[in-house]
A = this chain, B = another copy of it.
């Protein structure tokens, strides 16, 4: 194999497929990137057991061929090359040479034939769901933080619930303390269905999506897989088998109190509350809702907080306690300048949501008694 490509194109290709190279694995081949040059197309592929990513790299092919190269070493070597065109040649012993002829540079890395490499599963393609890269990227960013991690006993909760309701889609994540929901309307009707996507898949894909409202992601769903196609890239992931918790009942509540508050002010205030979250015995932030202001207080053994923030309020006064981290996580991903918060009573969750319910964050309180 002999190809020519720019350093930037190769680096970009490596970093796109890197999301499917596991950090730890017992299968050495999963640490490799498969490079294929054939039919006029250079493709890089990586594939761990759950997620595979394949991307087309711009460049020219002098001799077709295929080889696998360890991702870490490949990336480091390319990073250290000068900018501009590079020649990449893999000989019969599968040693890759990365050359800059003009500057008389020749770096070599031993690779292998790639015959142990598992290619991406071929999935049956029905009509894809179309969504802009920007919107899908934002949706994932706005719900991915409340996924359950490290809980192998309930794999369903390590996934993102994705429900296509026909003309809109809902992404939901939850851990034992909170539920995060993002809804998006479609301009056409799709087949109703529900799947659970591994959190890691969406997290990796959102990293390689550009914040571009004009470009589309095409999403194909089958019984066992989900595939994302955008620009020169295809990502195929296994789905998680199981039933997700039904959150419909949780989010239909009678609120006794609602407030409107400046998001930045509240976020900076709750960020200060986290100063006092270091003790083993974590102190809740106590929120008192009065007519025109919130009072925010924390009392820890090594200090405390007392702040007042102006609000607009409807309904009753209320005193309620929370883990400040959970409120902060939600406020950090909300793009609105003003947020509305809804309360039921001091032992029920609060809800941060916009009027159209494009986002809903439900957070369980800490009992103050």
Check if A271 is an interface residue, CB within 8 A of chain B: yes
A307 vs chain B, min Cβ distance (A)? 5
A272 contacts across to B, CB distance below 8 A: 77, 80-81, 105, 107
Residue of chain B at shortest CB distance from A295: B104
A321 vs chain B, min Cβ distance (A)? 19
Residue contact A305 to B107, C-beta cutoff 8 Å: yes
A73 contacts across to B, CB distance below 8 A: 275, 302-303
Within 8 A of B (CB), among A92-135: 95-96, 103-110
Check if A315 is an interface residue, CB within 8 A of chain B: no
Check if A91 is an interface residue, CB within 8 A of chain B: no
A265 vs chain B, min Cβ distance (A)? 8
Check if A312 is an interface residue, CB within 8 A of chain B: no
A248 vs chain B, min Cβ distance (A)? 38
- A95-B303 in contact given A105-B272, A272-B77 (Cβ < 8 Å): yes
- A268-B80 in contact given A275-B73, A275-B107 (Cβ < 8 Å): yes
Residue contact B109 to A302, C-beta cutoff 8 Å: yes
Check if A306 is an interface residue, CB within 8 A of chain B: yes
Residue contact A107 to B303, C-beta cutoff 8 Å: yes
Residue of chain B at shortest CB distance from A269: B105
Residue of chain B at shortest CB distance from A96: B303
- A104-B308 in contact given A109-B303, A110-B303, A303-B109 (Cβ < 8 Å): yes
Check if A242 is an interface residue, CB within 8 A of chain B: no
Residue contact A303 to B104, C-beta cutoff 8 Å: no
Check if A76 is an interface residue, CB within 8 A of chain B: yes
Residue contact A106 to B302, C-beta cutoff 8 Å: no
Check if A166 is an interface residue, CB within 8 A of chain B: no
A303 contacts across to B, CB distance below 8 A: 73, 77, 95-96, 107-110
Encode contact with B along A265-292: 1 for CB under 8 Å, 0 otherwise.
1001101100100000000000000000
Check if A82 is an interface residue, CB within 8 A of chain B: yes
Q: A109-B302, A110-B301 are in contact. List 15 more A-B contacts (CB 8 A).
A: A73-B303, A77-B303, A80-B271, A80-B275, A82-B268, A95-B303, A96-B303, A104-B308, A105-B307, A106-B306, A107-B303, A108-B304, A109-B303, A110-B302, A110-B303
| Sample of 22 A–B contacts (CB below 8 Å) | A73-B303, A76-B275, A77-B275, A80-B275, A81-B272, A95-B303, A96-B303, A103-B307, A104-B308, A104-B309, A105-B269, A105-B272, A106-B306, A107-B272, A107-B275, A107-B304, A107-B305, A108-B303, A108-B305, A108-B306, A110-B301, A110-B303
Query: Across chains A and B, which 9 residue pairs bring their CB atoms closest together, nearest first?
Result: A104-B308, A109-B303, A108-B303, A106-B306, A80-B272, A110-B302, A105-B307, A108-B304, A110-B303
